[in-house]
Structure 1
Amino acid sequence: MSVWLPSAPCTPGTCVEAGRGARVRGAVRLVAVVVLVLAGIAGSLAARRLPGALVRGWARSVVRASGVRVRITGAAPGEGGLLVVANHISWLDVPLLAAVRPARMLAKREIRQWPIAGPLAARTALFIDRDRLRALPATVARIAEALRAGQAVAVFPEGSTWCGREHGRFRRAVFQAALDAGTPVQPVRIRYRTADGAPSTAPAFVGDDALLTSVWRVVTARRLVAEVEVLPVVESAGFPDRKSLARAAEVGS
């Protein structure tokens, strides 16, 4: 088991709903998503820093193009240096967090090799090698440096994706960066539902699921809704250690 990747019991065969949508509609949505991601790559290459409103609008467009409605509720996210933490279910979680607050994403090193999304992540992400325990202090230090510089850093502290019906505990290491930098933590809760409000596991990207398989399941699904709840900011200064800060910021799915 990887240091950064605790095992989750969720697997495609036992947890994920099979898609039953139209293939033609799915193909149209898939093309739209690819076009938008390519546009995002082009924009990030053309400008060193894009306006936050533009990034939020682009991120919402990616999710909507995949056929998923977006509902964002709760408080406005904090400004300046901010550690954004959320439960992790799907690849859709990344643009959903960007729709709330554009941030540098803490991402596994393997994402660099992903088609289309990899080059975009390489422009903004902080990459980690989850198989090297010795890399942990340096990773925390890089996050703290970004926070001190007034940047937002987005992290999925569960360390693995879950199906949405179950969730993991927040691993505490990254919370040390917020303590070291003296910056607040912004918890965000993500849920996926059908249009009638029932929980849906169709967007889950779990176990040995292939990325393209997961993407196709989403774009062919019908009437999915992503609910994003921005919870009150947790001030790191009020906590004596990273364990207590992680527990205070933990959100369930």
Structure 2
Amino acid sequence: MTARPDPAPLLPLVTVTLVVRIIAMLALLLGILPLHLFLRAIRRPSPVPRIFLSGVTRICGIHPTVIGTPSSGPVLYLANHLSWIDILLMGGVLDARFVAKAEIARWPLIGFLARQNRTIFVEREARRDVRAQTDTVASALARPQPVAIFPEGTTGEGYAVAPFRASLLAAVTPGVTVQPVAIDYGPCMALVRWPKTEGAPHNAMRLIGRRGTIPVTLTLLPPSAPTRTARRSRPRLMRRWQGCWMRRDRFRFRGDVRGLRLISRNRLFRKDILQS
């Protein structure tokens, strides 16, 4: 998620629904933040970030449906990325912490909230620090809380799966379960998507201030556990995980398609891709 230029005026987006929902989110935050800070002070696990993200999801009128079973043990979730709403869903439903760009840590309020959920901030453009960043993610995967990555590295248009950023998956080692998650907004996809021409404030106000509900389905696809970490095996694994997201006519893959087959229109995924 990246801050973008926002030339569109914001005043027309100010609605009663927007104001009411923002007040409700602030009330929720102020009501549960003291408990979270207290639990952190005594070094106890805090359920507050998950409660907060789940609560904000409901306040914004987003109704998630979960299909499938979350993996146990050290798990890395790989999810397609369409909107900042994906973060609310992955954190609120799956209790995941995230790998995010370092610049988000400097965003007012958002950076503070991200740190409360133990977000892992990385400098993606700093190639010299790739090893240290990989070690940080690997260390996080050794803890009970799942880690979520949006391997496309940015939000997409919703109609295609962009090539994965290999550096984001360098921390995947034997013993870590990788579970792809398909986030599907159905008929609301065009509404929810975050175009590159739309600024962050405009997009947030547009979605929060919208009346009605937004149904979304999170499909937890079959997990896999890599048995080796050799660099030459990583492209095969990446193609396998990319194949998990190619669903019906909704997605097409942009990039290296070697070893992939078209997905049946009547199935969410093809077992021959997952087991290759």
Q: One fold, TM greater than 0.5? A: yes
CA distance in 2, matches of 1:203, 1:33: 19
In 1, distance between residues paired with 2:30 and 2:100? 19
Deviation sequence 1:54-94 (CA, Å, 0-9, x none): 6544322211101222212222x112211111011111111
Equivalent residue letter for 2:90: L
Q: Work out which of the residue numbers 175, 178, 181 in structure 2 matches 1:188.
A: 181
- Structural mapping, 1:69-108, within 5 Å: 69-75=63-69, 77-108=70-101
Name the counterpart of 1:246: 238
Uncovered stretches (5+) of structure 2, i.e. residues with no partner: 252-276
Superposed counterparts of 1:118-137, under 5 Å: 118-123=111-116, 124-137=118-131
Displacement of 1:126 after TM fit?
0.7
Larger Rg belongs to: 2
Aligned counterparts of 2:95 and 2:80: Cα–Cα separation in 1:
17
* Aligned CA distance change for structure 1 residues 187 and 165 (closer, same or farther; 3 Å): same
Kindly provide the amino acid, as one letter, of the partner of residue 160 in structure 2.
Answer: E
Question: Quick one: distance in 2 between partners of 1:204 and 1:112?
Answer: 23
| Aligned-partner Cα distance in 2 for 1:39–1:170 | 39
Preserved contact between residue 80 and residue 152 of structure 2 (Cα < 8 Å):
yes
Quote the Cα distance in structure 1 between the aligned partners of 2:159 and 2:6.
13
State the partner residue of 1:210. 199
Deviations 1:183-204 (A, max 9, x none): 11011111223xxxx2422222
> CA 1:232–1:12 in structure 2 vs 1: closer, same or farther (change >3 Å)?
farther
Bigger relative contact order, structure 1 or 2, given CA contacts below 8 A and separation 6+? 1
**Structure 1 pair 150–224 and aligned structure 2 pair: CA distance change class (3 A):** closer
Map 1:109-188; keep pairs closer than 5 Å.
Answer: 109-123=102-116, 124-179=118-173, 182-188=175-181
CA RMSD of aligned residues (A): 2.9
Q: Is the 8 A contact 1:89 1:203 kept in 2?
A: yes
Q: Supply the distance in 1 between the matched residues of 2:31 and 2:194 (Cα, whole angstroms).
A: 24
SS at match of 1:248: helix
Deviates more, 1:38-47 or 1:27-36: 38-47
Paired residue total:
232
Percent identity, aligned pairs only, is 29
Distance in 1 of aligned mates of 2:194 and 2:28: 21
Does the 8 Å contact 1:171/1:246 carry over to 2? no
SS of the equivalent of 2:167 reads coil
- In structure 1, C-alpha distance between the alignment counterparts of 2:14 and 2:6, rounded to whole Å: 20
- CA shift digits 1:167-214 (9 cap, x unpaired): 3122222323122x5211011111223xxxx24222223424322211
2:216 maps to amino acid = A
Q: Structure 1 residues 200 and 104 mapped into 2: Cα distance closer, same or farther (>3 Å)?
A: closer
Instruction: Structure 1: state its 5+ residue gaps.
Output: 6-10, 14-19
**Aligned mates of 1:220, 1:105 — CA distance in 2:** 26
TM-score for both structures, normalised by structure 2: 0.73
Conserved in 1, the CA contact under 8 Å of 2:95 and 2:145?
no
1:35 and 2:24 correspond:
no
For the 8 Å contact 1:29–1:67, the answer to whether it is kept is: no
Change beyond 3 A, Cα 1:12–1:117: closer
Deviations 1:104-137, CA, capped at 9 Å, x for gaps: 2101111112232210212311101122111222
1:45 partner amino acid: L
TM-score (norm 1): 0.79
